[in-house]
Amino acid sequence: MSIVTPGFRGRAREGNPRVPPGQYLVEDFPVLSAGPTPRVRTDSWQFTVTTETGAAHRWSWAELMALPSEKPRVDIHCVTQWSKLDTRWRGVSLDTLLEGVETEADYVLVHSYGGYTTNLPLADLVDGQAWVAYQFGGAELTPEHGGPARLLVPHLYFWKSAKWVRGLELKLKDEPGFWENLGYHDYGDPWREQRYQGD
């Protein structure tokens, strides 16, 4: 039995300038996960940013909810070739969470409840590009879609938007995460079809 849930098929819309090459549009929100879905209670949830020196910055759920939130409306693109346009989220910008964090790091290893990891350049999480999202479509984010909170990095393939996020480890050198160790691309730009190593 596969540990990955199967993909979904949707209606292709040739020539839509918002759809990257090799993608098709869906109206639903496919659920794809590697392994079982963690069930994380908000009273025990914690988000931690750990710098390359070991300095840790932590937020409880209540502390996250007290931070200024944003409502990004973005297109998302899965490596399994579906795209969904105009998705509506609510969350805290990574700019807010990283404010005051002193680091010389260029890379991030994202950690999730359940053990999932993924790597990104730190530059792709700042300047209004990424959020810790806790609502989708005006409702609480369900566990199947990464609730209570997931990373949202819409300009990269969606496996980089780690579900059930619990922290960022800031690193001086790039370190591949779960899918990257299995042959997926280290960066994952949908507009350059960077699905696998060598793309």
What's the pLDDT tens digit per position in 152-199? 999 999 999 999 999 999 999 999 999 999 999 999 999 999 999 988
Q: Which tokens is 77 given?
A: 């693109």
The predicted-structure confidence for 25-56, as pLDDT tens digits, reads as follows 998 888 877 678 899 999 999 999 999 999 99
Contact between 25 and 19 (Cβ < 8 Å): yes
| DSSP labels, the chain | --SB------B--TT-TTS-TT-EE-SS-----BSPPP---TTT-EEEEE-TT--EEEEEHHHHHHS--B--EEEEE-TTSEEEEEEEEEEEEHHHHHTT------EEEEEETTS-EEEEEGGGSSSSS-EEEEEETTEEPPGGGTTT-EEE-TTS-GGGS-TTEEEEEEESS----HHHHTTB-SS--GGGT--BTT-
**Average confidence score pLDDT of the chain:** 92
The predicted-structure confidence for 142-157, as pLDDT tens digits, reads as follows 999 999 999 999 999 9
pLDDT at 8 over 70: no
pLDDT at position 6:
42
Residues 6+ apart with CB under 8 A from 91: 69, 70, 72, 131, 132, 133, 134, 135, 149, 152
pLDDT at 63 over 50: yes
Q: Which residue has the tokens 């290893």?
A: 109
The predicted-structure confidence for 9-23, as pLDDT tens digits, reads as follows 444 445 799 999 999
Tell me the average pLDDT across 108-115: 97
Q: What domains can you pick out in the chain, each with its CATH number?
A: 24-32+48-192 (3.90.420.10)
Tell me the average pLDDT across 100-129: 97
pLDDT at position 14:
53
Choose the weakest-confidence range: 3-12, 89-98, 148-157.
Answer: 3-12
